Structure 1
Amino acid sequence: MVRLIVTRVQPQAQQWADRFAAHGDDAVVLPLIDVRGLPDVTAVRAAWLNLSNYKAAMFVSRHAVDYFFLARPASVPDAKALAAMTTRWWATGPGTAHALLDHGVPVPRLDTPPEQAGQFDSEALWQQVHAQVQPGDKVLIVRGDSVAPDGTSVFDNDQGVGREWLAEHLRQSGAQVDFVVAYQRGAPFWTDVQCALAQSAATDGSVWLFSSAEALGHLQNLLPGQDWSAARAVATHPRIAAAARGLGFGVVTQTRPTWEEVRASVESLT
C-alpha cells in the first residue's frame, strides 16, 4: 500500500487524511504551512466598516474568510443581515465558497467557479465575475501575509500570482482595488520525528499531495539539500506542479483540487 503525505494546512490536512483512511489508504499528515491570526486586526475591522462601499470582496482562501469574520466588529450586523448588503462575495474555489456560506453569506450574492470547473483560481473566478465590474467600482481582496520565523513579512508567492493577475484585470476594467491582510502564514516547526518521516518519504515511494506552491518552498527550507528525484507528487494547480518539478520531484501529476480527483491521481501512480 502506498503512503500518502498530506501537506495541507490544519485542520484540513487531518480531514483529508481521515477521508483517505476511511477508504483504506495509508495517509499521514505533514503540514507545510502554519496559519495564525494577526497581532493587530485594526485594518480588518476598518475593512468591515467600509464593506458596503465595495462592489465585491474577494477571498483568496478559506483561512482568509475565517479570520476576516473572526475580526468583525461588534457594531457590524451579524451574518443574517448580510443579505441586505449589495456587496458581492467572490471565492476562487469550493472550499472558500463553503466557508463564506458557513458564515452566513447568502447564496445569491456569492460568485465562484462551478465545482465541475477544470480549475479553481483567479483566472477561473474572473470568467464568472468580469461582467459585473464597471469603471469606478471598488473591490476588496482579502488575503494572508507570509511571515518569516522572526515575524517579518516575506515575499508571498503562494497565491500572489493569481491575486495580482486579478487585481490587474480589475484595474484594466476601471475598478479600484484595495487589499487587506486577514491572517498570517508561515513555515511549520517540525520535530525530529517529522523530519525523519519526510526524509523517508522522499525515497520510499510515498506520494506527496501539494495544494500550495508556498508549501514546497517551506519543504526546501526544512530539508535543504534533500534529493527528491525518487519522490512522487500530486499537485492541484499548474503553478504548484511547476514548483514541485523545480524542487526536483521525479514524478509530478497535476489534477483538479477535489478529493475524488486527487485520489484518482494517486491511484494512477500505484
Structure 2
Amino acid sequence: MMQTGKNILVTRPDHQSKNLCKLIEQQGWHAIRFPVIDIQAKPLSTKDIQRIQNIEQYRKVIFVSVNAVNFALQLINGKIDRLQKLTCIAVGKASYHALSASGLSHVLMPEQGFNSEAILAMPEMQVLSGQSCLIIRGEGGRELLADSLRERGARVDYLEVYKRVLPITDNKIIDAYLLQKTLSAILIYSGDALKNLVKVLVKEDFNKHLLNIPLIVISQRVQIMAKTIGFKNIIIADEASDAAMINALLNGEECG
C-alpha cells in the first residue's frame, strides 16, 4: 500500500475535484489540484434550441457524462417532467446518479462498462428502426455511438451543451515537483485531459521524469493514447469513478 505523504496530481476540472481530493487525503496523501480542463457552456445554434424545445419528440435521450446532465437540466430549467416519458440512458454511474437525483424515476445504464460500446451492448439498443435518439454531450468526441445507432435504423441528433477549454494555469508549483521528482501519480479522466497535460507540462529538461510517473486512467482508449505519448507506467481503473481511481492507485502500488 502507498506510504503517507505521497503527492497525487489531480487534473479534473475544479468543480469536479472536491470528492477526489477528499478521498486522496483520507489515504494520508497530498492532493495537488492542477485542472487541465475547464468546462464551459457552449453557445447554442438555432438547431440546438429547436431540439431542446422539442425534446419530447425523441424516443431515447443519451447522456454521455455528468456535465451533459447538468448543462442539459439547466437548459430545460429543471423541468424533469419533459423527460419522464422518454427513455433516458446514462453512460456511467455519475450521470445515472445525477439524473436520478434530479427526480427522473426511470433511468437506464449499462450493466457493464461506461462508454459507447457499453451503451451499444444494452438490450434496449439493439432494434432501433424508425426511432429517434438524442445524444447529449460536450463539443466534439467519438462518432462511434451515433454511427452505430444509425446503422441499426435510428435517426440520431446531437445536442452539444458544453465545451472543454484549456484553463490558464500557473505551472511553477508543478514544475518544482517534476524537477524534484516528488510526484507520485497523476490521475487522468479523459483523452482531452491527457493531451492538455502534455501540452502544458512537457519540457525537454524533465520530459523523461514526467513519462515515468504512474498514470491512472479511466479506459483502455486513454491507456493507448498515454502509451503512444510515451508514458511507461499506466494503470486502468475499473470504472470512471473517483473511488475506482483510488482503488487502481492502491492496487497498482501493491503490484509495483
Residue of structure 2 in register with 1:152 after alignment: none
State the Cα deviation string for residues 151-180 of structure 1 (Å, max 9, x = none): xxxxx4xxx23xx11112211111011011
Residue of structure 1 in register with 2:96 after alignment: 97
Does the CA-based 8 Å contact 2:188-2:215 persist in structure 1?
yes
Matches of 2:177 and 2:190 in 1, distance apart? 17
Q: 1:249 to 1:193 in 2, by over 3 A?
A: same
Residue of structure 2 in register with 1:136 after alignment: 130
Deviates more, 1:248-257 or 1:37-46: 37-46
3-state SS of paired residue (1:113): coil
Deviates more, 1:228-237 or 1:36-45: 36-45
Q: 1:42 to 1:170 in 2, by over 3 A?
A: same
Asked if residue 67 in structure 1 is aligned to residue 45 in structure 2, the reply is: no
Matches of 1:41 and 1:69 in 2, distance apart? 17
CA drift at 1:239: 0.8
3-state SS of paired residue (1:11): helix
CA drift at 1:40: 4.2
CA drift at 1:129: 4.6
Matches of 2:176 and 2:59 in 1, distance apart? 47
3-state SS of paired residue (1:182): strand
Matches of 2:76 and 2:49 in 1, distance apart? 6
State the Cα deviation string for residues 102-161 of structure 1 (Å, max 9, x = none): 22222x2x11123xx3x211111222254464311110111112xxxxxxxxxx4xxx23
Asked if residue 31 in structure 1 is aligned to residue 35 in structure 2, the reply is: yes
Asked if residue 171 in structure 1 is aligned to residue 168 in structure 2, the reply is: no
Counting aligned pairs with the same residue, the percent is: 25
Asked if residue 219 in structure 1 is aligned to residue 197 in structure 2, the reply is: yes
Does the CA-based 8 Å contact 2:177-2:183 persist in structure 1?
no
Amino acid at match of 1:204: T
Structure 2 gaps, min length 5: none
Does the CA-based 8 Å contact 2:137-2:161 persist in structure 1?
yes
CA drift at 1:219: 1.2
State the Cα deviation string for residues 171-219 of structure 1 (Å, max 9, x = none): 1111011011101111121114354256358x43511111101111111
Q: Which of 106, 109, 125 pairs up with 2:119? A: 125
User: Structure 2 length normalisation: TM-score?
Assistant: 0.85
Q: Across the two proteins, how many residue pairs are aligned to each other? A: 244
Coordinate RMSD, CA, aligned: 2.3
Residue of structure 2 in register with 1:153 after alignment: none
Amino acid at match of 2:227: R
Does the CA-based 8 Å contact 1:8-1:33 persist in structure 2?
yes
Asked if residue 113 in structure 1 is aligned to residue 117 in structure 2, the reply is: no
Deviates more, 1:203-212 or 1:221-230: 221-230
User: Structure 1 length normalisation: TM-score?
Assistant: 0.81
Residue of structure 2 in register with 1:57 after alignment: 61
Asked if residue 263 in structure 1 is aligned to residue 241 in structure 2, the reply is: no
Q: 1:265 to 1:194 in 2, by over 3 A?
A: same
Amino acid at match of 2:36: L
Residue of structure 2 in register with 1:151 after alignment: none
